[in-house]
Chain A
Amino acid sequence: DIVMTQSPLSLPVTPGEPASISCRSNQSLQHSNGYNYLDWYLQKPGQSPQLLIFLASNRASGVPDRISGSGSGTDFTLKISRVEADDVGVYYCMQALQARTFGQGTKVEIK
């Protein structure tokens, strides 16, 4: 099984400041086709998760360009260049290379 580990689990942020979340897998998520099968999701309070990033670095429709994903193999990062109040919630990474497994989640809250 592929295990996903996120850090930190809690992230207090200041509006206007950058934020970064790490996600690591216990085996490479890079397919032979070159793609890394890693997504990022945000679950806002009281809502279903929503897709932010797919294939490690591709923004989903409607996601602002201040949110970006990077990484390859086993190490991935989600970055928010300037945090806004609407960014609060729990962020999850999810691998889709073998079945699907999620990270534990990172709770982002405003300081």
Chain B
Amino acid sequence: QVQLQQWGAGLLKPSETLSLTCVVNGVSFNDFQWNWIRQSPEKGLEWIGEIKHRGSAKYNPSLQSRVSISVDASKNQFTLKLRSVTAADTAVYYCARGRPGDWGLDYWGQGSLVAVSS
């Protein structure tokens, strides 16, 4: 059974770096795209970026200057870092698996609420 379990700090101060990790259980880490998506009342669902097991990443152009996604295939996990956060980065963050050929995001993590407040 495929499971994505995510964790990370839930409360940050402005200018700090958000860091979330997603571990994948029950499936080979290879052959898929590993995504981060966030959801806020203001912006709805917003794609942050994705990475493949070999480490090639793509990012949302609006976040590209502040975001990085890395992968540790030996641990079946991938990590999101978002630098210089502001209140506008307050959201529920999800990790999700993308199938080859862009055939949809078929498994999602449980979501992590990250709040940015001074």
Contact = CB atoms under 8 A, between A and B. Distances in A.
A90 to B, nearest CB: 9
A29 to B, nearest CB: 11
Interface string B44-85: 111100000000001011000000000000000000000000
Given A99-B58, A99-B60, A99-B61, A51 B44 contact: no
Contact of B111 (A37, A48, A50, A94): A48
B108 A50 contact: yes
Contacts of B58: 99
A51 B47 contact: no
Interface size class on chain B is 20 to 34
B94 A101 contact: no
Interface in A28-51: 37, 39, 41, 48-51
B44 A39 contact: no
A111 to B, nearest CB: 25
Interface in B88-102: 94, 96, 99, 102
Interface in A58-111: 58, 60-61, 92, 94, 96, 99-102, 104-105
Contacts of B110: 48
A48 B94 contact: yes
A51 B106 contact: yes
Given A48-B94, A48-B110, A48-B111, A99 B104 contact: no
A52 B35 CA distance: 18
A105 B45 CA distance: 9
Contacts of B94: 48-49
Given A99-B58, A99-B61, A104 B44 contact: yes
Given A55-B103, A100-B47, A102-B46, 13 more contacts: A1-B61, A39-B104, A48-B108, A48-B110, A49-B45, A49-B94, A58-B103, A92-B44, A92-B45, A94-B47, A94-B105, A96-B102, A99-B60
Interface of A: 1, 37, 39, 41, 48-51, 53-55, 58, 60-61, 92, 94, 96, 99-102, 104-105
